[in-house]
Amino acid sequence: MKLDQLFESAKNVLQGNWNGSFTIPSPTLYPHQWSWDSAFIAIGNSYSNTERAIKEIEFLFDAQWTNGMVPHIVFNDKEKTYFPAADFYEITRSPYAPKHIGTSGMTQPPMHAIACYYIYHNDTDSQKTKSKQFLRNTYFKLKLFHKYLMTDRDPEKSGLVTILHPWESGLDDAPVWDHALSKIKIEHVLKFQRLDVVAVDGAKNTIPSDDMYNKFIYMIELMKQFNYDEKKMYENFPFKIKAVIFSSILYIANKYLIKIAEIIEEKDTEEIREWITRCEKNFYKYFFPTGQKLEQNEDGLFYNYDIISKDWIQKKTISSLVPIYTGLIPNEQIPSFLKWILRWSGTEGKNHTAALPSVDVQEPYFKEFTYWRGPVWVNTNWMIYLGLLKYGQIDAAERIKQGILELVCNHGFREYYDAYTGEGLGGKSFSWTASLVMDMIKNTGIGIPSTGGRYK
Ligand code: 2M8
């Protein structure tokens, strides 16, 4: 398929998933608005429909809690096929929750400042009137969100974000959460019916186990018992993890927030710069076993940090590679990091394409079909692709891009793909897959160096 045809097909996916207010992630599975999906979707729409991209973000931020939290789901109350739905979350227990719309009570990675910058940058109106006004309206909402993450979710002032639920990571069922989840004891019987089991063909092989799912739901029950009080949850919650992917995205998003401030001529960016500095100081301390010392870290990979057990979670998942997206890795570490990326993307193995599986295929916990435990996801590949470009690793980046394009051309815009066969899995007509393919086809300017040299 030619790239312009592929771009048009991707646009059609977004068109088909648009419901007048926002874009659903997939018609076969997710009927509501998901937070980081919407940011990815706005990136795709920024190439073809500025107005829609703006509406997408505005609708989401209209449901922002007054403490700054952007909920991970905004519910469409007409849709009854997804569990847990708005009534299950009982968000009115929190004084900060919106009254006009149902949302979940947890958050997701803050891709939005990045998406907002895309909207402005790709606006073809010579005056960029609408997109500039949009940035003016949205800047303080974005900042409030980041402030919430840098205070309520980072009392340590590390510049890194603590998640209280695996769903907040966006990588819901990754094996990295297993140990922390195993310590949680469900203290009362839960009565609910899983709806994800019936939503997808062959779901039994792909979705999380009942045990894991019960813990997910139980943790929502716990949040409700704390009335979503962040301070109390931070003191007492049984799951507290400084998350690599979340913190990496926030770091980039803070940089984009400063770019936005410059565009709208907002001078006071001191606080955002402070968040960036904190993250720069602590990223290795928290995410790189042995702290700063490159030579003492056996495999040179990044790992999530469990605040409760005070230990790194040393499982090789895509989180270990995503930090290349931040540009925080020193140049001397890049060759060894690149070796990982090449091996992981299957240069010597039986992987179908060079796109990176969500778990290292050589690990015993790699599962070919299971949700976030092995298959290839487009969004994490896109981050690593951009990271490689930042370091001038054009060939490695190109191989990943070609791998993704091949999967999409031959197996459709799916939620995820079998790393060995390329078979499309999970939701069909998946929005962020379409959006990020649009970006991989069209982007020549955002986060991509024009010279092949290192881009900051
Ligand atoms: C998946 O998460 C939701 C739970 O929030 C689900 O399993 O129902 C994840 O892949 C998440 O990252 C994504 O935002 C969501 C919608 O695409 O699906």
Residue 148 to residue 228: CA distance in whole angstroms: 14
Centre of ligand 1 from the C-alpha of residue 270, in Å = 34
For residue 385, is pLDDT > 60? yes
Whether ligand 1 lies within 6 angstroms of the CB of 427 is answered as no
User: Which residue type does 64 have?
Assistant: Q
Q: Which ligand 1 atom sits nearest the alpha carbon of residue 29?
A: 8
Whether ligand 1 lies within 6 angstroms of the CB of 84 is answered as no
Instruction: Give the percent of the chain with pLDDT over 90.
Output: 86
Residue listed under structure tokens 């069209």: 442
Backbone angles phi, psi at 417, to 5 degrees: -135, 145
Mean pLDDT in residue range 389-398: 95
- Lowest mean pLDDT across 66-70, 90-94, 163-167, 335-339: 335-339
More confident site: 295 or 33: 33
pLDDT score at 61: 99
Q: Which ligand 1 atom sits nearest the alpha carbon of residue 372?
A: 10
Whole-structure pTM value: 0.96
Centre of ligand 1 from the C-alpha of residue 124, in Å = 32
Whether ligand 1 lies within 6 angstroms of the CB of 22 is answered as no
Alpha carbon 237 to its chain's center: 22
Q: Which ligand 1 atom sits nearest the alpha carbon of residue 427?
A: 17
Q: Which ligand 1 atom sits nearest the alpha carbon of residue 82?
A: 8
| Average pLDDT of every residue of the chain | 93
Whether ligand 1 lies within 6 angstroms of the CB of 212 is answered as no
Whether ligand 1 lies within 6 angstroms of the CB of 172 is answered as yes
Residue 147 to residue 3: CA distance in whole angstroms: 40
pLDDT score at 293: 65
Whether ligand 1 lies within 6 angstroms of the CB of 36 is answered as yes
pLDDT band at 450 (very low <50, low <70, confident <90, very high): low
User: In 3D, which of 92, 34, 37, 48 has the Cα closest to residue 66?
Assistant: 92
Residue 294 to residue 284: CA distance in whole angstroms: 9
For residue 420, is pLDDT > 60? yes
pLDDT band at 199 (very low <50, low <70, confident <90, very high): low
Whether ligand 1 lies within 6 angstroms of the CB of 34 is answered as yes
Centre of ligand 1 from the C-alpha of residue 364, in Å = 24
More confident site: 200 or 62: 62
Kindly give the interhelix angle for 112-122 and 35-45, rounded to the nearest 10 degrees.
Answer: 10
Whether ligand 1 lies within 6 angstroms of the CB of 170 is answered as yes
pLDDT score at 114: 98
The residue nearest atom 5 of ligand 1, judged by CA position, is 167
Q: Which ligand 1 atom sits nearest the alpha carbon of residue 171?
A: 12
Mean pLDDT in residue range 97-111: 98
> Is the backbone peptide bond immediately before 109 cis, with ω within 30 degrees of 0?
no
Q: pLDDT tens for residues 427-449?
A: 999 999 999 999 999 998 787 76
The preferred substitution site among 24, 79, 82, 167 for testing ligand 1, maximizing ligand atoms within 8 Å of CB, is 167
- Lowest mean pLDDT across 209-223, 281-295, 348-362: 281-295
Mean pLDDT in residue range 303-315: 97
Q: pLDDT tens for residues 135-189?
A: 999 999 999 999 999 999 999 999 999 999 999 999 999 999 999 999 999 987 6
Q: pLDDT tens for residues 227-281?
A: 999 999 999 999 999 999 999 999 999 999 999 999 999 999 999 999 999 999 9
pLDDT band at 207 (very low <50, low <70, confident <90, very high): confident
User: Catalytic residue numbers?
Assistant: 172, 415
Residue listed under structure tokens 């007492």: 236
Residue 63 near residue 71 (C-beta atoms within 8 A): yes
| Cα→Cα distances 288→179, 312, 366, 444, Å | 19, 8, 22, 32
Centre of ligand 1 from the C-alpha of residue 172, in Å = 7
For residue 455, is pLDDT > 60? no
User: In 3D, which of 328, 339, 335, 433 has the Cα closest to residue 382?
Assistant: 433
Mean pLDDT in residue range 3-29: 97
For residue 211, is pLDDT > 90? no
Backbone angles phi, psi at 304, to 5 degrees: -65, 155
Whether ligand 1 lies within 6 angstroms of the CB of 246 is answered as no
The residue nearest atom 4 of ligand 1, judged by CA position, is 167
The residue nearest atom 11 of ligand 1, judged by CA position, is 170
| Beta carbons within 10 angstroms of residue 211's beta carbon | 10
